Amino acid sequence: MKIGMVTDSLAHLSFDELLRQSAELGLDCVEFPTGNWSAAPHINIDALLDSDKNRREFLARVRDHGLEISALTANGNPLHPKSGVEQDACLRKTIRLAALMNIERVNAMSGLPGGRGDANPNWVTVAWPPDCHEILDYQWNEVALPYWQELVAFSNNAGIHKICLELHGGQLVYNCETFNRLRNAVGDTVGVNLDPSHLLWMGADPIACVRELGDAIYHVHAKDALIDNRNCAINSRLETAHSAKVAERSWSYVTLGYGQDEGWWKRFCYALRVVGYDDVLSIEHEDVTLSRLEGVRKSIELLKRSIALEASDYELPNI
């Protein structure tokens, strides 16, 4: 397995300083967000699309530091009732750029429509009142499935056959069941960018999800979540407090090992290996309590003790 990093984890660094630090930290890969919910501090997608020279220079600078690019990422909401057109445009630019740069994976979100006529997205998480199922029927059958069927065709025509979706709260696809519903309808171009932190705060078991998803896992984010049992006990895991108010929240994103212990991370990495995933774990640092560089460094140290570096050499005995 390889250790990578979402470059927004060190968004305060310049491009050259980012690459230098990544190399010094011992990373194998970097993952570049290109826009939408990211300010994309390290990449100018339009400049790279417009110039082969710019693309070659960008790739050369990454390679000169001994790094690979694991994915381009356009996390956003292409199904947003108001801004979906602009967010879809960024996703399509990202797909085109990945093809031009021979990067096989694009990370994204499924998106979330409004209910019929809504001005904002509407995440339905309960079965009652009856309006909920009317909203879901509209979101899936009239918006999401037609959009993703067309986007998959666009992506395949561009030469990209792996779009990796995060199972993320506030999105139409947020767990194994909703992912399978989408994939069964649009095909295996759509896979998972497995981020355990979201599954943890929603109450799922990421290791069980690894076994369920199997070879549909195309990319993995290494991000942890700390569950505050006291706050959960009185407020549930549904949480709207600002992310900076860690003491008040039921859960928070934290540096690896500060939510789940090292033994958990070893079991998670082992489960990935069991289902055949032997690729990058891309650190996404969103811990508001630790410094960015310290958080990334501690996460790398934990992953180095958790991942398997060598292929199995086990041989079945002749019986």
Residue 275 in domain: yes
Compute the distance between CA of residue 285 and CA of residue 3 in angstroms, rounded to an integer. Answer: 13
Compute the distance between CA of residue 187 and CA of residue 172 in angstroms, rounded to an integer. Answer: 17
| CATH (domain of 207) | 3.20.20.150
Residue 245 in domain: no
Give the tens place of pLDDT for each residue, 286-317: 999 999 999 999 999 999 999 998 888 988 88
What's the confidence (pLDDT) of residue 199?
98
Q: Tell me the residue range of the domain where 51 lies.
A: 2-225+260-306
Compute the distance between CA of residue 40 and CA of residue 34 in angstroms, rounded to an integer. Answer: 5
Q: For residue 215, what are the CA distances in angstroms to 175, 183, 209?
A: 16, 13, 12
What's the confidence (pLDDT) of residue 12?
97
What's the confidence (pLDDT) of residue 289?
96
What's the confidence (pLDDT) of residue 316?
80
Q: Which residues of 36-63 are buried (b: 16+ CB within 10 A; e: fewer)?
A: bebebbbbebeebbeeeeebeebbeebe
Give the tens place of pLDDT for each residue, 14-56: 999 999 999 999 999 999 999 999 999 999 999 999 999 999 9
Tokens 């904002």 correspond to: 120
6 class by beta-carbon count within 10 Å (0-12 exposed, 13-18 middle, 19+ buried): buried
Residue 37 in domain: yes
Residue 38 in domain: yes
What's the confidence (pLDDT) of residue 6?
98
Residue 246 in domain: no
What's the confidence (pLDDT) of residue 317?
80
- The residue ranges of the chain whose pLDDT is under 70 are none
Compute the distance between CA of residue 5 and CA of residue 106 in angstroms, rounded to an integer. Answer: 15
Residue 241 in domain: no
Q: For residue 302, what are the CA distances in angstroms to 141, 165, 260, 291?
A: 43, 25, 11, 17
Tokens 């927004």 correspond to: 8
Residue 150 in domain: yes
Q: How many domains does the chain have?
A: 1
Residue 317 in domain: no
